Structure 1
Amino acid sequence: MQLKQIKKIKYPQIYSVPEEVHRPFWSVMIPTYNCANYLAQTLESVLSQDLGSEHMQIEVIDDCSTKDDPEAVVREIGKGRVSFYRQPQNVGAIRNFNTCIQRSVGQFVHILHGDDFVAPNFYSSYESLIQSHPDVTLIISPAIFVNEKNEQIRIEPLLSNIDGVVVDFLKIEAVRNVIQTPAAVVPRKVYEQIGGFYEPRFHTADWEMWFRAGLYGKVVTLDRQVAYYRIHSGSDTSRLILTGKNIQECKDAIDMCMRQLPEKLREELNDNKYSEITELARFLHLDLAKKKLWKSSLIHASWSLRLEPSKSSVKVYLIALARYVLYGALNFDMKFLKLKQNISDAN
């Protein structure tokens, strides 16, 4: 559809599956890295609806984990049904995603993080939706967010659709990522035509990929939540929030998506393209302040001001700056006094 614009950016090439290779309907590709403590649940959620090797490929692709042994989990839970591939060296999450795609042989590829999981009817529900829309380029559903204990944090709402076809998908996804990876399925032939995940993006490569798949054709959505996305303190997202790099990557993703839009649609969105991530930066500024993470709070207040210069943004920034100066200095003084006391006690 918009292949001319897509080709302006160099994406990793995804090679087609050799003709002699058997093509199951599904490729469930599970990337892992130091998350083996969640992997058993991930595998069990897939195996509970296993359709057999003729219909479903299941493989764990490990990015050279250093803190655990995902292969042992695959042996114990998979019992020979699940394949395992270990990267010879750590390549990073996004390149590992591309390895997942390249190693897939099925017609439809589901990348399921090693710490996420799916509901018992995930694959049957998606397959029915695909059969109703054989020309689809992206199949999604709203996700359920859970924590380390599988407790629900929030449930995403259903996107507006007509008979399953998402309305104004490009307008939505260009400025805000509404799709979580465990809820996204892409035909392998689409990856072959538009390329793999853009590796210079770390936090938002999935966002740009779902946008690009939607740009290429039709996006359909399930009318219920059947995928679980896990949020935990050890996740990459949590670490990026502390430095503000999550907002930087969101901005870069929006800029990248906007460049690929038709000119008329780009002009329509341009004035308010950063509104969503500005609100996110303000929310994180307050949330981090509650946790007394003053520097991180200030970073997000700075982003709010940069993305949307206004009186309210200036006020948010000045408050964050005052807190950082006051409480940051106080924390430094307390640490200094404690160090001084320790030296005195030692003498």
Structure 2
Amino acid sequence: MNIQASTEPLVTIITPTFNRSHLIIQTVESILNQTYPRIEYIIVDDGSTDNTSQVLAPYANRITLVQQTNQGEAQAVNHGFVRAHGSIVGVVNSDDFIAPNLVECVVERLTAMPELVAIYPDWQAVDLESNPFGPVYRRPYNYKTLLYGVCLPGPGTFFRTKLIEQVGGRNPTYRFVGDWEFWLRIGLHGNMERIPSCLAYFRVHRQSLSSQIDCGAASERTTVIDELFARTDIPEALRPMELQVRAATYTRAAADCLPAKPLESRAYFRRAFTYSPKYMVQHPRALFSMLVTQLPAQIASSIFAYWRMIKHRAARRSGGKTE
């Protein structure tokens, strides 16, 4: 791929992919049609067995295609990081796509505000046919919010490439919460900022990792927090928050297990209450959920399944949600 010299910063975009030949074209087109001119586009094919290579062949002179044996998304992203030449980098998954002016907005903000380490937009959820069904408005950045389990940086997030040398790449140990763990490390090095506009599109479908959240994610969450508070370099101001953060983490872990595994959820809720009864009392929904898990497993599962259905319907009617 030819990238002309310029005074404007080079931006690297990495797309990890595995058997997404039916979706990746929309991703590629959204990146190659950006209004910002200086983009290095790296696609890392993580051992696809479909016709991904053939689908990407027409773009050969506009992308860098890297092929590897199947090692998982985190390793594919890390492979892209190693090859990145840009001073700004972002990851756009092969089932997502971005608005034409996203990169231009990112460069403008990061250039004007050198103290920022990353920037993230609001995003729109879409279905398999790219039909939108609800914008997601992110909260303004606060490391404490991130620490409590709200992964503020989502689709369309970009950060300064130099941070990879400081914090390392994605941790392949984590299948479900690797993004959150990565941003927790990045966030220790400076502030991020939200772009209050929907400039990225997140596809929700059965094959997406976000639709497979379960008790595996629950155990990963608690391990992330264990490792974070075991670090010697976290700010001392965060230390007094540890018990409440652990309570919040175990509460989210309990939610990961619902509605399918109320008994496992019950155990996580009990740990959350042990860490901080105050946190549970201050969060009535978490307290209610904990009490429901004390019911027989079949009854508890039915209640949570119904509750989740009502929440999804309400979110669709409201035309968006804040996370």
Identify whether the pair has TM-score above 0.5, normalized to the shorter chain.
Answer: yes
Matches of 1:312 and 1:218 in 2, distance apart?
Answer: 35
Larger Rg: 1
Pick aligned residue for 2:104 from 124, 129, 138 = 124
1:289-334 CA distances to partner (integer Å, 9 max, x unpaired)?
A: xxxxxx44554454334433688555322335144899xxxxxxxx
CA distance in 2, matches of 1:152, 1:298: 35
Number of residue equivalences: 283
1:318 aligns with 2:283: no
Cross-structure match for 1:142: 122
Q: Which residue of 1 aligns with 2:63?
A: 82
Task: Write the distance in 2 (CA, Å) between the matches of 1:32 and 1:232.
Answer: 15
Residues 274 and 145 (structure 1), Cα distance of their counterparts in 2 relative to 1, 3 Å cut:
farther
**Secondary structure in 2 aligned to 1:222?**
strand
Q: Which moved more, 1:208-217 or 1:178-187?
A: 178-187
Structure 1 residues 100 and 181: alpha-carbon distance in aligned structure 2, compared to 1, 3 A threshold: farther
- Deviation track 1:250-289 (CA, whole Å, cap 9, x = no partner) reads 222233334443233221352254326625744862xx4x
Corresponding residue of 2:15:
30
Q: Is the 8 A contact 1:58 1:83 kept in 2?
A: yes
3-state SS of 1:131 partner: helix
Question: Contact 2:213/2:256 (CA < 8 Å) preserved in 1?
Answer: no
Alignment partners' CA distance in 2, 1:280 and 1:199 = 20
Does 1:73 find its partner at 2:29?
A: no
* Mapped contact 1:24–1:105 kept (Cα < 8 A): no
Cα distance change, pair 254–152 in 1 and its aligned pair in 2 (3 A): farther
Cα deviations by residue, 1:219-258 (Å, 9 ceiling, x for unpaired): 22212121122221112232342xx111221222233334
Q: Is it true that 1:219 corresponds to 2:192 in the alignment?
A: yes
Paired amino acid for 2:144? K
With over 3 angstroms needed to count, the CA separation of the structure-2 counterparts of 1:248 and 1:29, relative to structure 1, is same
Q: Is 1:60 the equivalent of 2:69? A: no
SS of the residue corresponding to residue 150 of structure 1 reads coil
Contact persistence 1:23–1:107 (CA under 8 A)? no
| TM-score normalized by the length of structure 1 | 0.72
Aligned residues: CA RMSD: 2.9
Between the two proteins, what is the percent identity of the paired residues? 24
Return the alpha-carbon distance in structure 2 between the equivalents of residues 239 and 245 of structure 1: 9
Task: From the superposition, tell whether residues 195 and 272 of structure 1 become closer, same or farther in structure 2 (CA, over 3 Å).
Answer: closer
**What are the equivalent positions in structure 2 for 1:9-28 lying under 5 Å apart?**
25-28=10-13
Q: Does the 8 Å CA contact 1:100/1:111 hold for their aligned counterparts?
A: no
Amino acid at match of 2:83: R
- Give the conservation status (yes or no) of the 8 Å contact 1:237–1:246: no
**Contact kept? 1:112, 1:182, Cα under 8 Å:** yes
- How far apart in 2 are the matches of 1:245 and 1:278? 14
Q: How does 1:1-347 map to 2 (within 5 A)?
A: 25-49=10-34, 51-52=36-37, 55-66=38-49, 68-76=50-58, 78=59, 80-87=61-68, 89-160=69-140, 166=141, 169-241=142-214, 244-260=215-231, 261-275=234-248, 278=251, 281-282=254-255, 285=258, 288=259, 295-308=260-273, 312=288, 315-319=291-295, 321-323=297-299
* Shift, 1:126, TM fit: 0.7
**Which is worse superposed, 97-106 or 298-307?**
298-307
**Mind listing any 5+ residue stretches in structure 1 that lack a counterpart?**
1-21, 161-165, 289-294, 327-347
- Separation in 1 of the partners of 2:26 and 2:296? 41
Q: How big is each residue's C-alpha offset from its partner over 1:11-31, in whole Å with a ceiling of 9 and x where there is no partner?
A: xxxxxxxxxxx9961111110
Shift of 1:129: 0.6
- Which structure 2 residue ranges, 5 or more long, are not aligned? 1-6, 278-286, 303-323
Question: Conserved in 1, the CA contact under 8 Å of 2:44 and 2:65?
Answer: yes
2:127/2:205 contact within 8 Å kept:
yes
Following TM superposition, by how much is the alpha carbon of 1:40 offset from its aligned partner in structure 2, in angstroms? 0.7
2:272 alignment partner AA: L
Conserved? CA contact 1:137–1:219, under 8 Å: yes
Of the structure 1 ranges 26-35 and 134-143, higher mean CA displacement relative to structure 2 is found in: 134-143
SS at match of 1:274: helix
